[in-house]
C-alpha cells in the first residue's frame, strides 16, 4: 500500500509488516521502521493521531467495523484546526470520490448527538461545526453525523447511506 503524508511531505510504500520505504524527493528511497515513524504505512499522520481513508465507501456501521479491525475508531473531530485538516486532506486524496465522510457521531436514545466508539461507549461532543439549521433529524431517521469535506460543515444523515470512511487512532 502506498500513501503520501501531506504534513511531513513523505511518500510511504509498505514493503513488509515492520517497515516502509519513504522518500521526500523524486530520487532515492530509505527504509524506516514503523516504530520510528509513528503511523502504520498507508496511514496519514496529523498531530498525535493517525488517519486511514479506505478506497471503498460504506455505511456508518460498516465503517465502525472496518475501523475496529484496524485498531481504530471512526473519525472524531475536536477543534477547528482538526476539522479543516481532515476536510482539506480527504478532499485532496485522488482515490476518494464523494463529498461526505462519516464521523463517530450518532444520536443516542435520548436524542443527543454523541461520539460512539467501536465498543459502544459514548462521550459528549465538545466541538461541532454544524451546517446552518443542523442537526435537523428527525430522530430515528437521520441519526448519524457526516462532514462535507468540501466546506467542513456537519450534517445529521441516515446511517444507512454509503459515504467516505475515515479511521482515527492515537499515534503509536
Which pLDDT tens digit goes with each residue over 21-75? 555 555 555 544 444 457 888 899 999 999 999 999 999 999 999 999 999 999 9
Q: So where are the chain's domains?
A: 1-42, 44-170
Please choose, from the candidates 29, 33, 36, the residue with its C-alpha nearest in 3D space to the C-alpha of residue 18. Answer: 33
d(CA 67, CA 126): 22
pLDDT digits (tens, 9 = 90+) for 109-168: 999 999 999 999 999 999 999 999 999 988 889 999 999 999 999 999 999 999 999 999
CA distances from 51 to 34, 101, 131, 158 (A): 15, 13, 24, 24
The DSSP letter of residue 131 is P
CA distances from 145 to 14, 21, 33, 88 (A): 32, 36, 36, 18
Q: What is the CATH number of domain 44-170?
A: 3.10.100.10
Residue 130: is it exposed, middle or buried by C-beta count within 10 angstroms (0-12/13-18/19+)? middle
Beta bridge partners of 31: 21
Count of other CB atoms within 10 angstroms of residue 111? 12
Amino acid at each position: 500500500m502506498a500513501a503520501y503524508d501531506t504534513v511531513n511531505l513523505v511518500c510511504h510504500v509498505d514493503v513488509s509488516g515492520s517497515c516502509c520505504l519513504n522518500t521526500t524527493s523524486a530520487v532515492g528511497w530509505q527504509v524506516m521502521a514503523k516504530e520510528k515513524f509513528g503511523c502504520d504505512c498507508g496511514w496519514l499522520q496529523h498531530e498525535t493521531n493517525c488517519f486511514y481513508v479506505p478506497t471503498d465507501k460504506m455505511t456508518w456501521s460498516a465503517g465502525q467495523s472496518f475501523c475496529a479491525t484496524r485498531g481504530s475508531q471512526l473519525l472524531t473531530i475536536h477543534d477547528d484546526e482538526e476539522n479543516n485538516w481532515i476536510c482539506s486532506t480527504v478532499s485532496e486524496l485522488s482515490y476518494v470520490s464523494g463529498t461526505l465522510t462519516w464521523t463517530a457521531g450518532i444520536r443516542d436514545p435520548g436524542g443527543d448527538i454523541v461520539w460512539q466508539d467501536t465498543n459502544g461507549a459514548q462521550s459528549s461532543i465538545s466541538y461541532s461545526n454544524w451546517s446552518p439549521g443542523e442537526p435537523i433529524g428527525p430522530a430515528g431517521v437521520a441519526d448519524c453525523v457526516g462532514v462535507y469535506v468540501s466546506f467542513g460543515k456537519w450534517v445529521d444523515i441516515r446511517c444507512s447511506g454509503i459515504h467516505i470512511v475515515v479511521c482515527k487512532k492515537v499515534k503509536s
